[in-house]
Every structure is written in C-alpha cells, then in structure tokens.
C-alpha cells in the first residue's frame, strides 16, 4: 500500500501565506506602470481583487488569477480550497464566474494519482459555482502549486470595488479568521487535519451566496480576506477610499483552535510581514494584545468577504445572509471620520 501523501510537507509556506509581502509587492508595482484603456473600468491602482473590463453597455468581464501551495494534506480538499479561493476575487467584485483556466505546478515523484485528486477537487468546486473549467497550463516543480485564472461577468455599472466605502457604513465579515495559524500548525505536525475541519469546510465554502446577497441588498464596498490578513486587506480598502475604520475586536469571529495556538506563540511568518505593512496605520488599546494582533494579521486562505454596507441596510444584509445559509455574518466595525487609511481597534 502506498504511503499517504502529506501535501503540506512539500512546500516551504502554506496557501496564501506564500504571497509576496504587501510591502514588497507595492514597491515593485510602482516601478512597473501599466497602460490604461477606456474599457478598463478597474485595474490594479487601488488594490482591488479583480479587474473589470467593459465589453458593451450591458456587459463587463471580471478577471482574476490566484494559485498557491498546499494548505491541507488531502489532495482533493486542496483542489477545492484553491478553486474557492480563486473564485472569491470575482465574488468580491459582485461578478458571476463563467470560466476557469487551471494553473498547475507538480512534482512527478508524488504520483499523478495525487494530481488527479487535486484536479477533481478543483473541478467540482468550479462547477458548483456554475462556471466551467476550459483548460489550463502545467509544469514540473519541486513544490506543488494549484489555482485558477477566473473570468466572470458583471454589469459595467453594478460592480463593487474596495474604494466605494462611505462614512457611517457598517463592516460585516462572512468567515472566521485564524486559518493561517492552523495551516502552519498542520504543516508542523502540531495538529491533525481532522482538528481543523471546521476551518477547512469554511475555506472550501464558496463566497457565492454572500456575494449574491450583497448585490441584492446593495453595498458600497467589498474585499475578500486572504494573504495580507484582516488588517492588511482592510487597510487597502481604506487607502483606496480615503477613509478610516473602527473595529470591534470582541466581535471578530476567530477559530478557537487558532486562538489556542496563537497564545503559545505559534504563528506563520507571513504574520510578521503583514505587521510591517500596517504598523503605522493601526492604533488603540487592543494593539497591546500580542495574541489578538497575531490573529488580526494572520494570512488567510479562501477567507470571507468583508462588506461595507450602508448602516440602514446592515440589518437586512445580515438577515438575508442568514436566510441564504451563510454561517458567519458578524458586524465587526464601521467606517468613521479620522486619519485616512487608519484603523482604530476597540
């Protein structure tokens, strides 16, 4: 009998924690200016999750790409999480995914039956979204990596960006945080996959329903929480909109096992990179709580949507999320007057 493969043992970093740091990436992109055309409604200027390209008066494309190293040991679950994560960027813009191209890097020594399971997991999740896999590209690599380039559609006047937030908006988060800590613990053999199945189930859950509900209710802004952590992605949103936020730290949904691990100092390296990115923009008494800050800066993979909704619609949004079976819909903060791009923790 072939020994069971532990995919996390074949990568140096897990999931979105393998991203280039936000600080370094920002510096690089400043030196690579890109051409703009009239049809490009949303590019990379404000750190949005996907590009929006106008095709006609009633149709625009939403385009994004995301791939990463294994965050779990199971090949099939890895494929599902990678697909859900790639689709999430389109959902954050209010788009409807229609096609996906797979991106594969794979060590042949693992055996191609492992790759088959990864591809099956990804395909099943893409098809669950209503989109279809139309092809892809593969190469041999020392580390397994997997993801998708996703194309979606949206009305050119109805997409959602990170820069539309307004003072008085409420901030609602649709998945708990702390997955990066759990994935690092799994890779290190500190916990078993079965001990983080609640987080795995959330990570492979599509943000489809949350996206559809926010488009139905009408919101001002949205981003999904991934490798730059909750505070990192919130900061990007605030910078794009020239606004500030107040965050209710006691309302943050957190995986309990991640909290336990953070309390003994077990955090991924990406946490420290995220801290560098936001250190000049976060204030408040809770910043003295090292464990809390580690969790707020924890690099997520396939995290939830952070939605900025007008205050008068916040109750309706939470109600509709509940009716559509979205398990987490926590009101975690609000957009306030203050120093631009700053976050106050209370």
pLDDT digits (tens, 9 = 90+) for 201-242: 999 999 999 999 999 999 999 999 999 999 999 999 999 999
Catalytic status, residue 222 = no
> In this structure, what CATH number is given to the domain that contains residue 63?
3.30.1330.10
> In this structure, what CATH number is given to the domain that contains residue 341?
3.90.650.10
Domain boundary (121, 154, 187) is at: 154
Q: What is the mean pLDDT of residues 305-329?
A: 98
137 shares its domain with 200: no
Asked whether residue 165 is domain-assigned, the answer is no
Q: Does residue 345 have a pLDDT over 60?
A: yes
pTM of the model: 0.94
Q: What range defines the domain where residue 36 resides?
A: 7-154
Instruction: Quick: pLDDT tens for 147-167.
Output: 999 999 999 999 999 889 999
Between CA 302 and CA 202 the distance in angstroms is: 8
200 shares its domain with 78: no
204 shares its domain with 239: yes
Between CA 96 and CA 93 the distance in angstroms is: 9
Give the range with max mean pLDDT: 46-60, 261-275, 313-327: 313-327
204 shares its domain with 341: yes
The one catalytic residue among 16, 22, 82, 237: 16
Asked whether residue 268 is domain-assigned, the answer is yes
Domain boundary (154, 180, 214) is at: 154
Q: What is the mean pLDDT of residues 270-289?
A: 95
209 shares its domain with 332: yes
267 shares its domain with 240: yes
Asked whether residue 267 is domain-assigned, the answer is yes
Q: 97: which strand partners?
A: 152
The domain tally of the chain equals 2
Q: Does residue 15 have a pLDDT over 70?
A: no
213 shares its domain with 296: yes
DSSP single-letter state for residue 177? B
128 shares its domain with 194: no
Asked whether residue 244 is domain-assigned, the answer is yes
209 shares its domain with 335: yes
Between CA 328 and CA 174 the distance in angstroms is: 5
205 shares its domain with 260: yes
144 shares its domain with 177: no
Residue 213 in contact with residue 324, Cβ under 8 Å? yes
Residue 80 in contact with residue 159, Cβ under 8 Å? no
Q: Does residue 292 have a pLDDT over 90?
A: yes
């Amino acid at each position: 009998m072939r020994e069971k493969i532990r995919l996390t043992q074949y990568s140096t970093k897990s999931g979105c924690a393998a991203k280039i740091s936000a600080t370094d990436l920002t510096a690089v992109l400043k030196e690579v200016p890109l051409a703009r055309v009239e049809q490009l409604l949303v590019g990379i200027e404000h750190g949005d999750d996907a590009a929006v390209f106008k095709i006609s008066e009633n149709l625009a494309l939403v385009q994004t790409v995301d791939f990463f190293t294994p965050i779990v040991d199971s090949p099939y679950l890895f494929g599902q999480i990678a697909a859900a994560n790639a689709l999430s960027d389109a959902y954050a813009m209010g788009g409807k995914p229609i096609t996906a191209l797979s991106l594969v890097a794979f060590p042949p020594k693992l055996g191609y039956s492992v790759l088959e399971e990864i591809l099956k997991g990804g395909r099943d999740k893409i098809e669950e979204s209503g989109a279809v896999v139309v092809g892809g590209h593969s190469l041999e690599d020392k580390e397994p990596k997997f993801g998708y380039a996703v194309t979606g559609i949206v009305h050119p006047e109805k997409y959602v960006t990170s820069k539309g937030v307004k003072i008085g908006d409420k901030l609602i988060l649709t998945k708990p945080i702390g997955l990066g800590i759990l994935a690092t613990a799994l890779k290190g053999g500190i916990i078993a996959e079965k001990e983080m199945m609640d987080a795995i189930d959330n990570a492979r859950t599509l943000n489809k329903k949350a996206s559809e509900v926010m488009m139905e209710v009408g919101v001002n802004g949205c981003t999904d929480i991934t490798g730059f952590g909750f505070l990192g992605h919130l900061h990007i949103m605030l910078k794009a909109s020239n606004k500030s936020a107040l965050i209710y730290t006691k309302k943050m949904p957190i995986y309990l096992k991640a909290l336990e691990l953070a309390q003994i100092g077990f955090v991924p390296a990406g946490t420290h990179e995220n801290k560098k990115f936001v250190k000049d923009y976060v204030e408040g008494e809770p910043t003295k709580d090292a464990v809390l800050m580690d969790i707020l800066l924890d690099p997520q993979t396939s995290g939830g949507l952070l939605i900025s909704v007008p205050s008068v619609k916040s109750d309706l949004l939470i109600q509709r999320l509940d009716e559509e079976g979205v398990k987490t819909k926590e009101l975690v903060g609000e957009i306030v007057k203050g120093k631009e791009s700053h976050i106050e923790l209370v």
